[in-house]
Amino acid sequence: MNPRKNKCLSISEKKRVIQAVEDGQYKKDVAKQFGILPSTLSMILKKKDYITGSAFIANRKRSRQGDFPRLEECLIKWIHQCRGQNLPIGGLMLKEKAKSIAQSFGIEGFAASEGWLSNFKNRHGITFNKICGESDSVDHTTNIEIISK
C-alpha cells in the first residue's frame, strides 16, 4: 500500500510548478518540492497551456465548466460591457439576460435558477457590490433597455 496521499494543487500552485520547471529545475526535484508524484507533474506539464491561460480563480483546485459554456461566455462579455459603463447589475437582471441569450441560441431546458446563478457567480468570481460615487448617478430605468440589447 502506498503511504503517500493524493495531493491536489490549486491553480496558482500548478502555475508555480510550471514556472519552476521552465526555470530549469529538474522535474524530480520539483516533484519533491511540491510533494507530488512524477506522474502528477507530467499531467500538469501536459496541460500547461490550459493552466497558464486559465482565467479561473487562483486558489481553486479544479476548473469546471458549466453545462452551457457558450451561454456563459456571452454572459461574461455582457457583464464586462455593463461594468465598463458603470451600470449596476443584479441577480434578477443577470438571470433575465441569461434567459434571453439561451432563447437566442435555441437552448432548451435552461432555467436560470438561483442555484445556477450561484454556481455561475462562483465559477467566474463574480460579486455584486454596491456602487457609490459618480457611477451611482446612472439612471436605473436604463437597466430594462440594457437587458434587451
Q: Please determine whether the domains at 1-63 and 69-148 fall in the same fold group of CATH.
A: yes
Q: How many angstroms from the chain centroid is the CA of residue 8?
A: 18
Domain boundaries, the chain: 1-63, 69-148
| pLDDT on residue 100 | 92
Instruction: Name the CATH superfamily, with its identifier, for domain 69-148.
Output: Homeodomain-like (1.10.10.60)
| pLDDT on residue 18 | 92
* Grid cell for residue 59: 486558489
48-53 CB contacts, 8 Å cutoff, 24+ apart = 48/18, 51/11, 51/14, 51/15, 51/18, 52/15, 52/18
Q: What is the pLDDT of residues 92-129, one digit of tens each?
A: 999 999 999 999 989 888 888 999 898 888 887 788 77
Q: What is the pLDDT of residues 49-74, one digit of tens each?
A: 877 765 555 555 556 667 788 888 89
Q: Do residues 71 and 111 touch, judged by C-beta distance below 8 A?
A: no
Averaged pLDDT for residues 81-100: 88
Q: Which of 10-14, 76-80, 134-138 has the lowest mean pLDDT?
A: 134-138
| pLDDT on residue 147 | 53
Confidence category of residue 133, pLDDT binned at 50, 70, 90: low
| pLDDT on residue 78 | 92
Has domain 1-63 been given CATH number 3.30.70.2190? no
128-133 CB contacts, 8 Å cutoff, 24+ apart = 128/89, 128/90, 128/91, 131/86, 131/88
Averaged pLDDT for residues 74-99: 89
3-state secondary structure (DSSP) of residue 8: coil
| pLDDT on residue 21 | 93
